[in-house]
Amino acid sequence: MPLPVPVLPEGVDPAWLPPAAFRAVGGRRTLIRGSGPPAETVHGEVAEACRRFGGRVVRDAQPGEGAYDLVLDLGGEGLGEEGFTCAREGGTTTVTATCGRGLLYGLFHVVRLGEAAFTGAWARETHRPALALRMLDHWDNVAVHPVMGQVERGYAGGSLFWEDGRARGDLERVRAYGRLLAACGINAVAVNNVNVHETEAHLLTDRIGEVAAIADVLRPYGVRTHLSVSFAAPVVLGGLPTADPLDEAVRGWWATATRRVYEAIPDFGGYVVKADSEGQPGPFAYGRSHADGANLLAAAVGPYGGTVHWRAFVYDHRQDWRDRTTDRARAAYDHFVPLDGEFAADAVLQVKHGPMDFQVREPVSPLIGAMPRTRLAVEVQVTQEYTGQQRHVCWLGPMWSEVLRFRHDPESSVGERARGGLVGVSNAGDDPFWTGHPLAQANLYTFGRLAWRPDAEPREVLDEWIGLTFPKAPERLSDGLHAVLDGSWRTYEKYTAPLGVGWMVQPGHHYGPNVDGYEYSPWGTYHFADRDGIGVDRSVATGTGYAGQYAKPWAELYESPGTCPDELLLFFHHVSYGHTLHSGKTVIQHIYDTHFEGVAEVEEARRVWAGLADLVEPGRHARVAERYEEQLRSAREWRDQINSYFFRKSGVPDERGRRVH
Amino acid sequence: MPLPVPVLPEGVDPAWLPPAAFRAVGGRRTLIRGSGPPAETVHGEVAEACRRFGGRVVRDAQPGEGAYDLVLDLGGEGLGEEGFTCAREGGTTTVTATCGRGLLYGLFHVVRLGEAAFTGAWARETHRPALALRMLDHWDNVAVHPVMGQVERGYAGGSLFWEDGRARGDLERVRAYGRLLAACGINAVAVNNVNVHETEAHLLTDRIGEVAAIADVLRPYGVRTHLSVSFAAPVVLGGLPTADPLDEAVRGWWATATRRVYEAIPDFGGYVVKADSEGQPGPFAYGRSHADGANLLAAAVGPYGGTVHWRAFVYDHRQDWRDRTTDRARAAYDHFVPLDGEFAADAVLQVKHGPMDFQVREPVSPLIGAMPRTRLAVEVQVTQEYTGQQRHVCWLGPMWSEVLRFRHDPESSVGERARGGLVGVSNAGDDPFWTGHPLAQANLYTFGRLAWRPDAEPREVLDEWIGLTFPKAPERLSDGLHAVLDGSWRTYEKYTAPLGVGWMVQPGHHYGPNVDGYEYSPWGTYHFADRDGIGVDRSVATGTGYAGQYAKPWAELYESPGTCPDELLLFFHHVSYGHTLHSGKTVIQHIYDTHFEGVAEVEEARRVWAGLADLVEPGRHARVAERYEEQLRSAREWRDQINSYFFRKSGVPDERGRRVH
């Protein structure tokens, strides 16, 4: 039975799967060969497209030469669970896959190609995901948290899964979400927050049925379901006196609990764990290592084909700002490198891409280059916690691409080292546009595609997204979207914290400027600005030694202000305001210039967007236009606060005499 | 029928009315003459004391010479509602009053005197309150507010009156509260927050019964009940299309609503209104003046003997920090002085003692000296919002006394100008010690006594409080309490914002340091520190002109940095860090010195308190000792953040070479 295409609730935006995106496929004659659930999903998609655009779909006949425009064939060999080939010859486009999920990805490949899929002829191409795990972590709470709300760091309405303490009854929207994820290549979702509060802890045991219901609707889209769990579950849920990972009763408790999970969800993906981090429980309480902790859970899920994702985000969040020797940036490396080789095969160490916490600019985490005997997953933040909270346009494709192409040493890039997968903190919610800001959909799409192919050109991914989201977009629209998106990350960087120093945000909610907001805090997040200069000395020679966590040539490059890249200068060095950058500007003049430029670029983007009104659906256009007003207000506030702060501190006037308050 | 003394719930501290405080009275023979509710309260008090200490009490017999040690006689003439006389002759102490409340105050006077009341002989003394209204405003919410909680700026547990949306069922604790208030002379209480939220608005109409129940238990202690109301009540509660104060239907609505209030509470005190302030509705929306607004409500309550307390806390809370011409300090004066003479007789303009908002140091509000034809009440904050939140010891008696003795001109002091009364924002809640910090009880007591006699010596009031709270305290305890309390306000000032500049607190909750916390905010609260200097120029010659709102000699004194008192220098002037104070120190050295001194003084106070362990009830001693740990931690944080901030900005090292981070 073909699986019906999900029906979106009234008013919900189809994102990158509007019906018109299926025009080329829907007007053709298609043959589908093979069976199993994903084949039914494929069939449902093609059938709906044909219903709309007049084509025809047939199941399981022998392909008669020329009789079909498109053959989707499950008869391939050796392509793995997710790979497919695509070729065109004699007027027929043929997609071949070994497994159903491959066929589904092949279909969406054809959809992306549009008319080009049915034009000319080309030799067989093989497509396989570079990373086997392409995962979204939802920081969704089941119960509304008194401080963090329904979705921690969520800027897109409520949760798709949970509402006010309960699972949503109607899962049609979750089905539609699964379909969007499949179309950009995402194959795993963790359905609850890594900060596991009291209510959420019970998902693992007595409330597993609610997770299973979600898993059931995501499965046909090739998306496996994962669960964040509390390391203290044996105590909190099981009533045991300890959660010690080496305790036999604890191991038994996890084994039993996990068996029950797999009874409910046979293809359950595994656990996500934030342990000994920002107040969450962990193995340190029992004098055990994080490898002990991760291996405990790996032993529970491994026999069923599951994985434990163990987060490396471990640092001292009760630091004393007076203490300049402790460096939060060092923490993940210092904690985990000694454990390399000790993690079980079914344990994945999930490492944030930078050493701090998703700032607009960070160096790539040295830990990623220093755990050759450990399966690593790299975590990025699709939700824009520190990058404008989906009120600002900030397309993160170029940043992620830089990270994924970074090479700690000549042997391999980050994308290649991420054997455990690429994980993104989701930016989606029950907002009609899914992501609050309609243009933030591009981040979700780009994340999925970069997880599939970390060396993809982000600009080409953006072209795909534009082609799907705005079918038949005239060149003016496509150019306009590129104009407002391509450079938006660097624009955001320009008007916020300069030269890699980070933070300078309002504490708590992290929106808007506050230069000293985290300066005297316990969070390990300092810029050390005084009347003479600014920045954190992380050199080996005179600083915290963090630069030495890199292999050559990076360790040497970062060690000296003379060779350190401008954009990371203040992350690695404390320099005077008069220090001259590679750009030829002084640090203080760079601060003034970039802040004026950043605001000017937002003004220009707003103008460009206004000029696209005739080409964009009115509701979407209006939503973006409104958010540009807020972005501009906020960017000006950033500019003025940062410029005033540094003028007051440095006493150096702007060379160009612009207004600094 | 004598009114029984309230029974405190198990574990609740008796504050300044422990049974032992009644020893002298309770061991004597007392005659009470007169009737009426307060006489029954007096009778109940004396009877309970006699039951405990073996004395005797008789009602309404003729006083036989020598037969009684104490005569409490309602037969006096011309002493007003609250006055009394006290004399001792021939072994009999005689208190005479005209009205019951006077007799009650006379009894507590005798209680305060203790054995001295029954020693020697003295001529008749007359006691009358200097201010007819001595009021506590409770910022208590009925429903728990999502941001502000049950009690806005409350640091003493929950509300005495309300819990989770409902009135408390058992009012015995409220009775005990009324008794404590009577014993320090407070005669009015507003039972809900001046920020009137949705639930609370209904107290005026359909929930007036809950207010009446509170009024019933406070009445025997001479305490009248007042209510904070929303200016928009005719719209919100009455369904009218407007709340325009000149609209006939609006006037009619208030008349009817008020008639019903008085049916429920015949001695209802009146309304408290925060209008056009921090988001509350007000007459500005209708193009009317604040006199129009206040007079509307005065006309409603006046015929019943009630008063409207109209707060003068009106300013622009959406200011642009870039705009240095707007000065929040000017706002109350600018708004209200033009209205002098326009307020009805039953309207009282309630003015905060300083022009900003209860900072540790502010000049006295110039508005208080500039409204001769208006009944003014002066508002102080007993709850320690900006003065340590009842985790720090900060006895505010000296500050209030300075304010009340301040003379805008030679004719009259603030205490004399406050014809409409002294109002304090309450610091009491359902905490077992009533005020969170046991020593904060002294603030509540001192407030009441200064309202009775604004020219009282605060140190003598503290002696009274010590005598009552710690009956038979040996000299070592009394000296110790003075040592930790007398200078605690100046200690707090030393380690927080310097030289009158104010703020530098964490935004929102206002606890702990954040030098720039309000610097780039819309609240009108700036220090303008740069690398050269700090302070707000409020002179007429070069600044905002605020200094010109004072009469001579203050206007001239404040106008020049050369004559401005040190402690207010940065409130009135922007000066360089090298500016020399009258003390002979530079501003920057003053900052360093006071911050080191402040912490040292807290360390010393903690040491003194520790030495009193054998003289103080263990539970109370432990609570205070715990809070000293937090005070010391917090004071060190203040010291280090402020010193570091100004060292980083000024580059001037501490002369004495102490550690600045």
Interface of A with B (CB under 8 A): 321-322, 513-516, 520, 529-532, 637, 640-641, 644-645, 647-651, 661
Q: What is the pLDDT of residue A605?
A: 98
**A133, B187, B362, B497, B506 from B500: Cα distances, Å:** 60, 33, 6, 7, 17
Q: Report the distance separating Cα B554 and Cα B418, nearest Å.
A: 19
Which residues of A are less than 8 Å from B531 in CB distance? 531, 648-651
Q: Which three-class secondary structure string do you get for A386-408?
A: CCCCCCCCCCCHHHHHHHHHCEE
Question: In sequence order, which ranges of A453-540 are alpha helices (DSSP H)?
Answer: 458-469, 475-485, 488-495
Q: Report the distance separating Cα B446 and Cα B382, nearest Å.
A: 9
Q: Report the distance separating Cα A204 and Cα A228, nearest Å.
A: 9
Residues whose CB falls within 8 Å of the CB of residue A484, separated by 6 or more in sequence, listed in order? A393, A439, A605, A608, A609
pLDDT in tens, A539-582: 999 999 999 999 999 999 999 999 999 999 999 999 999 999 99
**A325, A561, B96, B288 from A535: Cα distances, Å:** 14, 11, 75, 54
Q: What is the pLDDT of residue B352?
A: 98
Q: Are A302 and A346 in contact (CB under 8 A)?
A: yes
Q: What is the pLDDT of residue B403?
A: 98
Token duo for residue B453: 């006699």
Q: Are A191 and A227 in contact (CB under 8 A)?
A: yes
Residues A389-401 have a mean pLDDT of: 98
Is residue A65 scored above 80 in pLDDT? no
Strand A56-59 to strand A70-73: parallel, antiparallel, or no bridges (unpaired)? unpaired
Among chain A residues, CA nearest to B517: A517
Catalytic residue among B40, B200, B357, B379: B357
Topology at the third CATH level for domain A134-316+334-458: TIM Barrel (3.20.20)
Distance between A661 CA and the closest CA of chain B, angstroms: 6
Which of A322, A516, A650 is closest, CB to CB, to B640?
A322
Report the run of H or E that residue A163 belongs to, with start and end.
strand A162-163
pLDDT in tens, A143-164: 999 899 999 999 999 999 999 9
Report the run of H or E that residue A409 belongs to, with start and end.
strand A407-409
Give, as one character, the DSSP assignment of residue A580: B
Distance between A318 CA and the closest CA of chain B, angstroms: 14
Q: Which CATH superfamily is domain A493-535+574-650 in?
A: Alpha-glucuronidase, C-terminal domain (3.90.1330.10)
Among chain B residues, CA nearest to A527: B648
Catalytic residue among B276, B379, B385, B601: B385
Q: What is the pLDDT of residue A211?
A: 98
Residues whose CB falls within 8 Å of the CB of residue A330, separated by 6 or more in sequence, listed in order? A355, A544, A545, A546, A549
Q: Report the distance separating Cα A232 and Cα A242, nearest Å.
A: 8
Q: Which three-class secondary structure string do you get for B330-397?
A: HHHHHHHHHHCCCCCCCEEEEEECCCCCCCCCCCCCHHHHCCCCCCEEEEEECCCCCCCCCCCCCCCH
Q: Are A373 and A347 in contact (CB under 8 A)?
A: no
The 10 Å Cβ neighbour count of residue A572 is: 28
Q: Name the amino acid, one letter, at B200.
A: E
Q: Is B649 in contact with A649 (Cβ distance < 8 A)?
A: yes
Question: In sequence order, which ranges of A316-457 are alpha helices (DSSP H)?
Answer: 331-336, 397-405, 414-417, 441-452
**A513, A578, B613 from B378: Cα distances, Å:** 37, 53, 38
- DSSP-derived secondary structure for B507-561: TTT--SB-TTTTTTSTTS------SSEE-----TTTS-SGGGGSPTTHHHHHHST
Q: Is A650 in contact with B531 (Cβ distance < 8 A)?
A: yes
pLDDT in tens, A265-281: 999 999 999 999 988 99
Is residue A62 scored above 80 in pLDDT? no
Give, as one character, the DSSP assignment of residue A464: H
Token duo for residue B351: 């003015």
Token duo for residue B538: 């409020």
Catalytic residue check, A475:
no
Q: Report the distance separating Cα B230 and Cα B228, nearest Å.
A: 7
In the structure, what pLDDT confidence band is assigned to residue A63 with cuts at 50, 70 and 90? low
Which residues of B are less than 8 Å from A637 in CB distance? 520
Among chain B residues, CA nearest to A659: B322
Q: Are B218 and B191 in contact (CB under 8 A)?
A: no
Q: What is the pLDDT of residue A403?
A: 98
Q: What is the pLDDT of residue B472?
A: 86
Catalytic residue among A40, A45, A385, A601: A385
Among chain B residues, CA nearest to A323: B661
Give the SS3 label for residue A119.
Answer: coil
Which of A515, A531, A644 is closest, CB to CB, to B531?
A531
Is residue A83 scored above 80 in pLDDT? yes
pTM of the predicted model as reported, rounded to 2 decimal places: 0.92
In the structure, what pLDDT confidence band is assigned to residue A308 with cuts at 50, 70 and 90? very high
Instruction: Please measure the distance between the N-terminal and C-terminal CA atoms of chain B and give it in whole angstroms.
Output: 67
Q: Where are the domains of chain A?
A: 19-127, 134-316+334-458, 493-535+574-650
A355 cis-preceded (ω within 30 degrees of 0): no
Residues A402-411 have a mean pLDDT of: 96
CA–centroid distance for A262 within its chain: 27
Catalytic residue check, A278:
yes
Q: Are B156 and B431 in contact (CB under 8 A)?
A: yes
Catalogue the E-assigned strands of A477-633.
533-534, 575-576
Q: Nearest CA to A87 among A35, A123, A141, A116?
A: A123
Report the run of H or E that residue B92 belongs to, with start and end.
strand B92-97
The 10 Å Cβ neighbour count of residue B148 is: 16
Q: Report the distance separating Cα A348 and Cα A351, nearest Å.
A: 9
Q: List beta partners, residue B311.
A: B350
Among chain A residues, CA nearest to B660: A322
Number of separate helices (H) and strands (E) present in chain B:
20, 22
Report the run of H or E that residue B323 belongs to, with start and end.
none
Q: Which CATH superfamily is domain B493-536+574-650 in?
A: Alpha-glucuronidase, C-terminal domain (3.90.1330.10)
Token duo for residue A543: 């600083």
CA–centroid distance for B88 within its chain: 34
pLDDT in tens, A425-474: 999 999 999 999 999 999 999 999 999 999 999 999 999 999 999 998 99
Q: Is A640 in contact with B322 (Cβ distance < 8 A)?
A: yes
Among chain A residues, CA nearest to B659: A322
Q: Are A319 and A523 in contact (CB under 8 A)?
A: yes
Catalytic residue among B278, B323, B455, B626: B278
Which of B321, B531, B637 is closest, CB to CB, to A648?
B531
Catalytic residue check, B10:
no
What is the average pLDDT value for chain A, to the nearest integer?
97
Sole residue written with tokens 């622009």: B316
Q: What is the pLDDT of residue B60?
A: 86
Q: What is the pLDDT of residue A60?
A: 86
Does the fold of domain B493-536+574-650 match that of domain B134-317+324-469? no
Q: Are B173 and B156 in contact (CB under 8 A)?
A: no
Q: Nearest CA to A374 among A432, A304, A312, A424?
A: A312
From the first residue on, what is the mean pLDDT of each consecutive set of 10 residues in chain B (661 residues)? 95 97 97 93 98 95 79 94 96 96 98 97 96 98 94 98 95 98 98 96 98 98 98 96 97 98 98 94 96 98 98 92 95 97 98 98 98 98 98 98 97 96 98 98 98 98 98 95 98 98 96 97 97 98 98 97 98 98 98 98 98 97 98 98 98 97 92
Give, as one character, the DSSP assignment of residue B465: H
Q: What is the pLDDT of residue A472?
A: 86
Distance between A649 CA and the closest CA of chain B, angstroms: 5
Distance between A589 CA and the closest CA of chain B, angstroms: 18
Q: Is B651 in contact with A532 (Cβ distance < 8 A)?
A: yes
A-B contacts (CB, under 8 Å): 52
Q: Report the distance separating Cα B368 and Cα B376, nearest Å.
A: 7
Q: Report the distance separating Cα B108 and Cα B464, nearest Å.
A: 11
The 10 Å Cβ neighbour count of residue A127 is: 19
The 10 Å Cβ neighbour count of residue B447 is: 29
Evaluate whether the domain defined by B19-127 bears CATH number 3.30.379.10.
yes
Pick the CATH number of B134-317+324-469 from 3.30.1300.10, 3.40.50.970, 3.20.20.80, 3.40.50.11540: 3.20.20.80
* Residue B149 backbone class (left: φ over 0; alpha: ψ -120 to 50; beta: rest): left
Which of B516, B530, B531 is closest, CB to CB, to A516?
B516
Catalytic residue among A89, A278, A532, A655: A278
Give, as one character, the DSSP assignment of residue A260: H
Sole residue written with tokens 């009291």: A198
Catalytic residue among A357, A362, A430, A493: A357
Is residue A85 scored above 70 in pLDDT? yes
Pick among A531, A588, A659 to test the B interface (most B CBs inside 10 A): A531
Q: Report the distance separating Cα B421 and Cα A20, nearest Å.
A: 74
Distance between A320 CA and the closest CA of chain B, angstroms: 10
Give the SS3 label for residue B633.
Answer: helix
Which of B515, B532, B637 is closest, CB to CB, to A516?
B515
Q: Report the distance separating Cα A645 and Cα A294, nearest Å.
A: 45
